[in-house]
Structure 1
Amino acid sequence: MNPAELDDDGRRLLNQLFGKWSLLVLDALCKRPQRFSELRQHLPAVTPKSLTACLRRLERDGMVERVVVSTEPVAIEYGVTRLGRTLRSPLQAMMEWFVDHLDEVEAARSDYDEQRQSS
């Protein structure tokens, strides 16, 4: 299927996976299951409300599972599902691309902004 021909459901999933925190949350959980507080430490810029919403969307889409690991006190751990693990390789490639090319993207942005200001 051509990605440009995605229906509404496909576009919603694409938007979800490329949402503000989804890739970073999935990247962290692909490495190992984590509790909410561990994810917050790994992603300090995300608010608790945004992280909760992101985890719920990823859980609804079948990418993340929520597991009760103890009941006294209640402890919840998040991990990727079998379906979520299928994203590990492309996700890792994308994260490496971001690291390898961030300087080039920043330079292009700077050049673009300078050209727009001088026009």
Structure 2
Amino acid sequence: MIRGDGGKTLRAILDQICNKWTLLVVATLERSRVRFTDLQHQIPGISQRMLTLTLRNLERDGLVSRTVHAEVPPRVEYELTPMGRSLIPPALALAGWAMQHVPAIEASRAAYADRAETSSQAANRT
């Protein structure tokens, strides 16, 4: 059991890591060092602002390194740090679990929706 501020820190770390954009950025950076624009093109649906915030948080937490090359225009590249690379196996395990259970989760969601609909209709009749 975690007590004191350790629990608060753990929650903040898990909130960041479990963010959908974080996992997509980490998965994209697993392959190689990537420029910001290329990273944005490789992650469908992410806005420039959300990518910037995600990369800043990952850099702050030590999962991503940012390299600025002194060129005109400046070239900025991002890559996973060793700690960031250590996130790949648990992230893949979580993704594997999700893929394995998609049919059961979809069936459960459909059954829940049916029950909710039945309850709603019964309540409207009274």
Task: Give your verdict on TM over 0.5.
Answer: yes
Partner of 1:72: 72
- SS of 1:102's equivalent in the other structure is helix
Aligned residue pairs total: 117
- SS of 2:30's equivalent in the other structure is helix
Structure 2 residue ranges without an equivalent (≥5): 120-126
TM-score, length basis structure 2: 0.81
The residue type equivalent to 1:57 in the other structure is: N
What's the % identity of the aligned pairs? 35
- Larger Rg over CA atoms: 2
Partner of 1:96: 96
> Does 48-57 or 104-113 show the bigger shift?
104-113
Q: CA RMSD in A?
A: 1.8
Partner of 1:116: 116
TM-score, length basis structure 1: 0.85
Partner of 2:16: 16
- SS of 2:19's equivalent in the other structure is coil
Aligned partners of 1:70 and 1:76 also within 8 Å: no
Q: Which structure 2 residues correspond to residues 49-88 of structure 1 after superposition, within 5 A?
A: 49-69=49-69, 71-88=71-88
Distance 2:103 2:70 in 1: 44
CA displacement 1:50-90 (0-9 Å, x = unmatched) = 11111111110110111124512211111111111111211
- SS of 2:20's equivalent in the other structure is coil
Structure 1 residue ranges without an equivalent (≥5): none
Partner of 2:28: 28
Q: Could you list the structure 1 runs, at least 4 aligned residues long, displaced by more than 3 angstroms after superposition.
A: none
- Structure 2 CA distance for partners of 1:89 and 1:111, relative to 1, 3 Å: same
The residue type equivalent to 1:116 in the other structure is: A
- SS of 1:32's equivalent in the other structure is coil
> Does 77-86 or 29-38 show the bigger shift?
29-38
The residue type equivalent to 2:37 in the other structure is: S
